[in-house]
Amino acid sequence: MPSRHRTVVVGASTGGFTTAESLRCNGYDGRITVVGEEPHRPYHRPPLSKQILAGEWALGDATITSAATTPALSIDLVLGTRATGLDTDRRTVKTTDGELSFDSLVIATGVSARRPARQYALAGFHTLRTLDDSTALTADLRGATHVLVVGAGVLGSEIAAVLAKRGLAVTLVGRSGSIRFGQTGSLLSSRVADLHETNGVRLLLALDVIRLLGTDRVTGAVLSDGSTVAADVVVAAVGSSPRVEWLAGSDLQLADGVVCDSAGRAAKDIYAVGDVARWSDTPGTHSARVEHQQNAIEQAHAVASTISTGIPHAPDIVPFFWSELYGTRIQAYGRFTGAGTLDVVAGDPAEGKFVGLASRDGTAVGVVGWNLPRAFRIARAQFTSGTADIGERQLAP
Amino acid sequence: MKIEVNQSTCVGSGQCALTAEDLFDQDDDGIVILLHDHAKPEFQDAAQRAASLCPARAITLSD
Ligand SMILES: Cc1cc2nc3c(=O)[nH]c(=O)nc-3n(C[C@H](O)[C@H](O)[C@H](O)COP(=O)(O)OP(=O)(O)OC[C@H]3O[C@@H](n4cnc5c(N)ncnc54)[C@H](O)[C@@H]3O)c2cc1C
Ligand code: SF4
């Protein structure tokens, strides 16, 4: 009798846990083992730079709640265990706790925060990707008065906003001349910059940190124009690297992530989902890695369907993300590369609430919501069905 | 099928209302509003889809 089918999932966060749960919802009755390096139960990362950093939520509030309990789902959750190698011929994953054999493998190892090339071992220097990072940062903020945030993207902006709200003097430094806000690129730069300045964050663009000051503990930094910034704590949010080091030497194609087809297949019976995965677009040859929670969830659902039915599911997943700065809810849906104009379709930018339709060469490519979430949702549905009504007023990018 | 929502973890994505507009709406801040706390049989699939797509897992279903 053939032994029971077994799916091994590596990475116990949004992508990995959702895949496992979705397999069960689809009626998959094989064994499911989820291996995760972190000791914590799967949790949501978005609150780490929002409610948790603000001190509004306890760490446990970010835990992913499941409709059914893990024992009821019959998922074997192996925490505190790291995958260290993959043998595609023998279909085994090596871990710090022995070998696991699989019939299907799902890679959901996410990304790690990039540390600037100049290695900063100084106390007071932080990145923010995990719950443990969050604990360390929060502890270090006690007694701090000046914080330097390096990296003016979504994450750097969120961190700067929350710390300013906590009463700290915050300097936000970005290497690029504009604020690059996730998939919307620099389309929202001047608006985000206005928010920072209105709320007292000192924003320095087109500047880089050359080196940190301090002997044991950081006391500040020297910038590329020769100026110095004093800081008790420095937080870097300068991008991320896919966690593929454990796949080195396997036959999988690695190129800024795990290269997959449009159904998330990296090789026969091997899939990747979430931040680590580079799926090719359904119609063309272009492939992309998307670092947003909704994308990880939808890829997880697709892979779970493929594994449980044997029929490849290749959905067209349009990137969606949300962020929050100083109480302003910012949302974006679409593929914004090359988008140069934003037409207001609802609300009024002067009042700090609007929905905009982004276009490239006259074609609508995405929807942006600025503190108008319900209207954003309606515009998004119209955009998807191709009936978006382009407003009269045009905003400068 | 009983539906519950947690407005304090909801992130206002609108995913639920896009997936099951008969069951969910949003207030002006985008926070979920439950239109029916029980899903009739014909809406159960939509309720399940909405719950599984919610990025904050703010929707729970029970029998
Ligand atoms: C602070 C912060 C705020 C964010 N805010 C938003 C937001 O507002 N909106 C939004 O859409 N997205 C946001 N994101 C992005 C979102 O959290 C990610 O898209 C999502 O977590 C991706 O899930 P994942 O499962 O692919 O990867 P991850 O969540 O990175 O999980 C990967 C897991 O795999 C583990 N792992 C890695 N290597 C191994 C190994 N070899 N063996 C075993 N386990 C391993 C890791 O420890 C980790 O637990 C935010 C991210 C961060 C860090
Ligand atoms: S899908 Fe979830 S987070 Fe989004 S509006 Fe509905 S309940 Fe809130």
Q: Do A291 and A358 fall into the same domain?
A: no
**What local confidence, expressed as pLDDT, does residue A380 receive?**
96
Contacts of B10 in chain A (CB under 8 A): none
Q: Do A122 and A196 fall into the same domain?
A: yes
- As a whole number of angstroms, the distance between CA A156 and CA A159 comes to 5
Rg (C-alpha) for chain B, rounded Å, is 10
- Specify the number of domains making up chain A: 3
> Of the candidates A293, A301, A374, which has its C-beta nearest B28's C-beta?
A374
Range 41-80 of A in CB contact (< 8 A) with B: 44, 46, 61, 64-67
**What local confidence, expressed as pLDDT, does residue A389 receive?**
57
Q: Do A134 and A246 fall into the same domain?
A: no
Model confidence at A392, pLDDT cuts 50, 70, 90, reads very low
Determine, yes or no, domain membership for A206.
yes
Q: Which domain holds residue A10?
A: 6-112+241-309
CB A368 within 8 Å of CB A355: yes
Determine, yes or no, domain membership for A321.
no
Interface check for B7 against chain A (CB to CB < 8 A): the answer is no
- Domains of chain B from N-terminus onward: 2-62 (3.30.70.20)
How far out from the chain centre does Cα A182 lie?
9
Q: Please report the DSSP string for B30-46 in residue order.
A: --EEES-SB--GGGHHH
CATH number at residue A362: 3.30.390.30
- As a whole number of angstroms, the distance between CA A57 and CA A346 comes to 33
Q: Which residue has the tokens 């992913």?
A: A64
**What local confidence, expressed as pLDDT, does residue A386 receive?**
78
Interface check for B18 against chain A (CB to CB < 8 A): the answer is yes
- Segment A190-213, tens digit of pLDDT: 999 999 999 999 999 999 999 999
Q: Do A100 and A171 fall into the same domain?
A: no
Lowest mean pLDDT among A58-72, A105-119, A319-333: A58-72
| CA distances from residue A256 to A72, A175, A269 in whole angstroms, order as listed | 37, 21, 21
pLDDT at A377 over 80: yes
- Segment A237-254, tens digit of pLDDT: 999 999 999 999 999 999
Residues 6+ apart with CB under 8 A from A163: A53, A141, A147, A149, A170
pLDDT at A2 over 90: no
Q: Do A209 and A287 fall into the same domain?
A: no
Q: Do A179 and A204 fall into the same domain?
A: yes
Determine, yes or no, domain membership for A317.
no
With residues binned 3-state (H G I as helix, E B as strand, rest as coil), the percentages for chain B, rounded to 5, are 30, 25, 50
Q: What is the mean pLDDT of chain A?
A: 93
**What local confidence, expressed as pLDDT, does residue A385 receive?**
86
* A227 phi and psi angles, rounded to 5 deg: -75, 165
Interface check for A380 against chain B (CB to CB < 8 A): the answer is yes
pLDDT at A257 over 90: yes
**What local confidence, expressed as pLDDT, does residue A286 receive?**
75
Q: Do A234 and A248 fall into the same domain?
A: no
Q: Do A302 and A352 fall into the same domain?
A: no
Q: Between β-strands A111-113 and A240-242, what pairing exists: parallel, antiparallel or unpaired?
A: antiparallel
pLDDT at A382 over 50: yes
Q: Do A219 and A246 fall into the same domain?
A: no
DSSP A271: E
Candidates A115, A137, A148; CA nearest to A222 is A148
- As a whole number of angstroms, the distance between CA A271 and CA A153 comes to 29
Q: Do B18 and A380 touch (CB under 8 A)?
A: yes
Candidates A169, A153, A116, A158; CA nearest to A134 is A158
Model confidence at A391, pLDDT cuts 50, 70, 90, reads very low
Determine, yes or no, domain membership for A228.
yes
Model confidence at A96, pLDDT cuts 50, 70, 90, reads very high
Q: Which residue has the tokens 């993207």?
A: A153
Model confidence at A395, pLDDT cuts 50, 70, 90, reads very low
pLDDT at A16 over 90: yes
Task: Compare all CA atoms of chain A with the CA of B30 and give the residue at the minimum distance.
Answer: A373
* C-alpha A259 to ligand 1 mean position (Å): 18
CB A186 within 8 Å of CB A91: no
